[in-house]
Amino acid sequence: MKGVWCEHAWLGAEGIADAVRIEVTDAGLAASVLPGVPARVGDVVLRGVVFPAAANAHSHAFHRALRGRTHDRGGTFWTWRETMYRAAAALTPALYEELATAVYAEMVVAGWTSVAEFHYVHHRPDGTPYGQGSEDSDADGPHAMELALARAAVQAGIRLTLLDTCYLAGGFGTPLGADRSRFSDGTAERWLARLAALRTAVSSRYPAHQVTVGAALHSVRAVPERDLAVIAQHLPPEVPLHVHLSEQPAENEDCLAATGCTPTELLSRHGLVTGRLSAVHATHVTERDLGLLGDAGASAVLCPTTEADLADGLGPAGDLLDAGVSLALGSDQHAVVDPWLEMRALEHGERLRTGRRGQVDPERLHGIASLGGAAAQGRRGAGFSPGLAADVMAVDPHTARTAGSSWEQLAYTATAQDVTGVVVGGVLTARDGVHATLGAPGPLLAAAIARLDDAANARNDPASTATWYTQPWEQH
């Protein structure tokens, strides 16, 4: 039986233990955890303090191309969104596979070992499905974009939950614009049929521990009420369901005006607020919303660094926890790809919101980042207990950022720069910021983003030398 030997390991309530050996099954699960033992020949050896790896519960991989490019003219979430749509319009299966591979490699070296990809770029830019011509390969056939993401995850060695997203409208009573036609299947029935075919296609190619398919509603403004009812009736009960929920006050206001209720109340009206639901953001939920989510045993996926970057507001993490809502973390638009910073931002947000320190202690933060994120994906959690996935990350406690920290409190000081080793299923996948098979993520990202830039610029104006991401906000 293969093993992972940890110089030191954080074992939750038991604290830090020295010389911990994790025995790993052929399926990549922890079989036993033995403290105080030497390493064996052939073991993966991790120096520093080892923690359960993090599970990224919300990602839009192509948004990574916007990092550091949308701040020069200010704006809002809604103006940022227009720039994002221009990037989405330029994606092809090949471009997306290249970019997503680089993004997932960036995640792995930071300590994320699974990801829920909230995916809605389904069809060709004109809205026609892939695979309707003479194509018969995965590269350009049915489910071309979805299978590109699956291949990217496998190359990066990250576990993927592909959240195939229903996106049918541009707002309450508003059709999708031409710039978003590739997101839509037209009706809930057609989305459900494609989702079923996709689940079959993925399960025939990949084991569930590697790639699996879940479902998402983009938002209540993007899925008309009639279609919500159809989805509630026909979506298989075992499929995880995610939704962007109350990210912006304008979403709440529009929903109240159109339906007489909040987004959470609207979902509840159709029986969609259940234990399988993960509400992404939940930044502006009401007290009644909190009760509905908590009573149903739903989860909330907070993305604190994205919510700060887009000026969404401070998510009510403490109120959600008090209501009985389970929490998870995501990197969303990838302004930051760092589970340690997401954990810290969650706690800092609560300090800013309440004026008190220590609202979410380190043990709970690690639970949110690891077990909470896995539960939102419908996956087995990672950690040191027998039966958990043998996914762990090691941190150097003696860097300029971590030196002097109590090791139990490294969640308040460490960053991805301090991660010295990442193991997925008992296999060493990254060391010191370098992916074991793909190398350093930086050059991969730079090359992929440059190619997307070329495609986006050519698509928006072949004769122009202006870049697609610096169009004046006033045009939108």
**Any idea which residues carry the catalytic annotation?**
281, 332
Q: List, in sequence order, every beta strand (DSSP E) within 277-355.
A: 277-281, 299-302, 326-329
At residue 371, the 3 state secondary structure works out as helix
Question: Residue 446 has which token pair?
Answer: 């730079």
Q: Which residues contact 169 (CB under 8 A, 6 or more apart)?
A: 175, 176, 221, 222, 223, 224
Sheet of 30-34: strand order equals 30-34, 16-24, 2-10, 44-52, 392-395, 419-424, 427-431, 434-435
Count of residues making up the chain: 476
Question: Residue 252 has which token pair?
Answer: 């709440």
Helices (H), 26-76: none
| C-beta neighbour count of 260 within 10 angstroms | 10
Task: Judge residue 152's burial from the number of C-beta atoms within 10 Å of its C-beta, 0-12 exposed, 13-18 middle, 19 or more buried.
Answer: buried
| C-beta neighbour count of 178 within 10 angstroms | 11
